[in-house]
Amino acid sequence: SQTIHQWPATLVQPVGSPLSLECTVEGTSNPNLYWYRQAAGRGLQLLFYSVGIGQISSEVPQNLSASRPQDRQFILSSKKLLLSDSGFYLCAWSRQGAKQYFGPGTRLTVT
Amino acid sequence: SQKIEQNSEALNIQEGKTATLTCNYTNYSPAYLQWYRQDPGRGPVFLLLIRENEKEKRKERLKVTFDTTLKQSLFHITASQPADSATYLCAPGGRDSSYKLIFGSGTRLLVRP
């Protein structure tokens, strides 16, 4: 069966520090991968998606970037965090069935 | 720009009643629409998908309707239980192979015992 992992589960980082969040999927190949951010009490905002290795599409211009170095690995990065980057970051995958499977999320607090 | 609207106020109902949640969209012609459940501190979980050529879809106590003329989807939970208390998100999807979704902000459902 397929599983999706995210780490770390929680993270507290100072403003201006770098960020690296990792997401890996097991049990499937060539999935579509997505990064979302959810601010407190708000809906999910799609940040990036990828339909294949090295193929990244950005939905919202900001100081974040994403990379997909392997088929089932998706990384979200920032060189310098802002206070507004705080939130709940979710990774998800899908195949041709269109429904998405979400990971457990990373709670990021920028201080 | 595309806009997805869900009632931001919590829906508070008595156990055993039917909960009805609304999702409206504008500036969009989705090929399908999905509904997800999200519990606090957790990622959303897929519930149902309905395609543009389908009027209604059912799964156990859940029912979804999709009216492309009204640009609206209704999500019903019959015989609601306290365990149904959660936030429900609607997410219309497009026609390309990215399968990317635009999520509404969700409606919180509270079922009183």
CB contact under 8 A, A51 and B97: yes
Distances from the Cα of B70 to the Cα of A6, A29, B25, angstroms: 38, 38, 9
Query: Strand B3-6 vs strand B56-59: parallel, antiparallel, or unpaired?
Result: unpaired
Burial of A84 (0-12, 13-18, 19+ CB in 10 A): exposed
pLDDT-derived band at A97 (thresholds 50, 70, 90) equals low
Q: Is the pLDDT of residue B9 over 90?
A: no
Q: Is the pLDDT of residue A68 over 70?
A: yes
Spans of all domains in chain A: 3-110
Q: Pull the structure tokens for residue B10.
A: 């919590």
pLDDT per residue as tens digits for the range B21-69:
999 999 888 999 999 999 999 999 999 999 999 999 999 999 999 999 9
Mean pLDDT of A74-86: 95
Q: What is the mean pLDDT of chain A?
A: 93
Distance CA A100, CA B89 (A): 13
| Interface contact A56, partner B, CB < 8 A | no
A-interface mutation test, from B8, B35, B100, most A Cβ less than 10 A away = B100
* A42: chain B residues, CB-CB within 8 Å: 105
A-interface mutation test, from B39, B98, B107, B108, most A Cβ less than 10 A away = B98
Q: Which strands, in side-by-side order, build the sheet including A73-78?
A: A3-7, A19-26, A73-78, A64-70
Mean pLDDT of A59-85: 93
Q: Is the pLDDT of residue A96 over 80?
A: no
In chain B, what are the domains? 3-112 (2.60.40.10)
Distance CA B38, CA B93 (A): 18
Among A96, A33, A94, smallest CA distance to A66 is for A33
Distance CA B87, CA A45 (A): 16
Beta bridge pairs of residue B88: B37, B107
Mean pLDDT of A62-88: 95
pLDDT-derived band at A31 (thresholds 50, 70, 90) equals very high
Mean pLDDT of B85-108: 89
Which CATH architecture best describes the domain A3-110? Sandwich (2.60)
Minimal C-alpha gap between B24 and chain A (Å): 15
